[in-house]
Amino acid sequence: MEAKDRIIVALDVDSLDKAKSLVESLAPHVGCFKVGLELLTAVGAPKVVEFVHSLGGQIFYDGKFNDIPNTVGGAAKAVAGLNVKMFNVHASAGRKAVEAAVTNKGSSLVLGVTILTSIDEEECVSIFGGKPGAKVLQFSRMLKEVGADGIICSPQELELLGKQKELDSLLKITPGVRPEWAAAGDQKRIMTPAEAIKAGATALVIGRPITKPPAEIGTPADAAKKIAEEISEILEWLKKDARCHDYELHYRGPYDLDVGPAHGDYHELNWQDCSCIIRAENDEEAWKITMQFLEDEVGRVYSEGAWHNRKLIKLTKIIGNQEVKP
């Protein structure tokens, strides 16, 4: 999956005229368009889907089905017949309603809505009787059991979900994502694109930062490309991180600096045993990182030979407890 395919643009407009320029300019730079209740109600679902498809875009049908199982099953069959890429159903509609959606999904993906990102902890307890993390986990397990393809959740719950290995196969679609250069808006539990991808998101739902970007960012296409670059960079970092090993550095570090005028100004560093963990792809890189770390930390108080001999004790590759030599 390319970085751009992880971007789902929220097409929060009320007419096809307003949607046209966005879809035309953004279709080459994003993976999908989320069409929600505003546009679906104002124009009509079949017309909206046909329109976006005609301009080269794919559809995330954000109907958030929430009704009795028979009604949800019928709605799922109807929307799957429009050849949308994905659609969603509220997990709180219950197990049987979600099962009905899965049974009638055709080739579309079924996503379960857990807790809306506009709902904070206090309101979540008021509505669902529990905090967001606990309820998202409960809903996600149910969605997995009934065969849903993925979940929609706040980025704040991604770390918790990532610790549940039985949920690894679920797609994790995450709204509440905004770049550092965009305002937070009305969503309570947000992250940047890089933070969300690092935390385990499969794809990101992003609206105003792309459709109405700050003037200094440029056009919607410019904003989408900028976000894709951010995603690409964190994906590369994650690939490297997966190849890395942990090394433990034992050394003597300075913990005090005394200055006194008794015989002129002088500086005296006192030392204590320290340790830290370094991540690197191989021993050579680990050693380079070590040397740079030591140099930065001591601030060149001593000449290289003096501080090297005095500070460095041992660099050890944690797996196998293998000492690393320069």
Do both 150 and 125 map to the same domain?
yes
Q: Strand, helix or coil at 124?
A: helix
Nearest CA to 191 out of 200, 180, 202 is that of: 180
How is residue 326 written in tokens? 């320069």
Q: What is the DSSP string of 213-279?
A: --TTT-SHHHHHHHHHHHHHHHHHHHHHHHH-EEEEEEEEEEEEEEEE-BTB-EEEEEEEEEEEEEE
Identify the pLDDT of residue 291: 81
Do both 104 and 194 map to the same domain?
yes
Among the candidates 213, 242, 271, a domain finishes at 242
Q: Which domain holds residue 171?
A: 3-242
Identify the pLDDT of residue 255: 55
CATH number at 28 reads 3.20.20.70
Residue 303: pLDDT band (50, 70, 90) is: very low
Nearest CA to 196 out of 242, 227, 150 is that of: 227
Among the candidates 242, 271, 286, a domain finishes at 242
Q: What is the mean pLDDT of residues 290-315?
A: 61
Do both 137 and 270 map to the same domain?
no
- 18, 20, 64, 96: the catalytic one is 64
Higher-confidence position of 254 and 59 = 59
Do both 228 and 259 map to the same domain?
no
225 belongs to the catalytic site: no
Q: Which helix (H) or strand (E) holds 296?
A: helix 283-298
Do both 223 and 255 map to the same domain?
no
Do both 88 and 117 map to the same domain?
yes
Quick one: how far is CA 320 from the chain centroid?
Answer: 33
Do both 167 and 315 map to the same domain?
no
Query: Which sign, positive or negative, has the C-alpha torsion 212, 213, 215, 219?
Result: negative
Nearest CA to 291 out of 273, 272, 308 is that of: 308
* Rounded alpha-carbon distances, angstroms, from residue 227 to 7, 35, 113, 213: 8, 20, 24, 11
Do both 237 and 252 map to the same domain?
no
pLDDT digits (tens, 9 = 90+) for 9-66: 999 999 999 999 999 999 999 999 999 999 999 999 999 999 999 999 999 999 999 9
pLDDT digits (tens, 9 = 90+) for 142-190: 999 999 999 998 888 898 999 999 999 999 999 989 999 886 555 455 7
Do both 229 and 262 map to the same domain?
no
Do both 158 and 299 map to the same domain?
no
Number of domains in the chain: 2
Q: What is the mean pLDDT of residues 103-119?
A: 94
Please give the sequence-ordered ranges of beta strands (E in DSSP) within the chain, or none if there are none: 7-10, 32-35, 59-65, 86-90, 109-113, 150-152, 171-174, 203-206, 245-260, 266-280, 312-317, 322-323
Do both 53 and 127 map to the same domain?
yes
Do both 230 and 282 map to the same domain?
no
Among the candidates 242, 263, 291, a domain finishes at 242
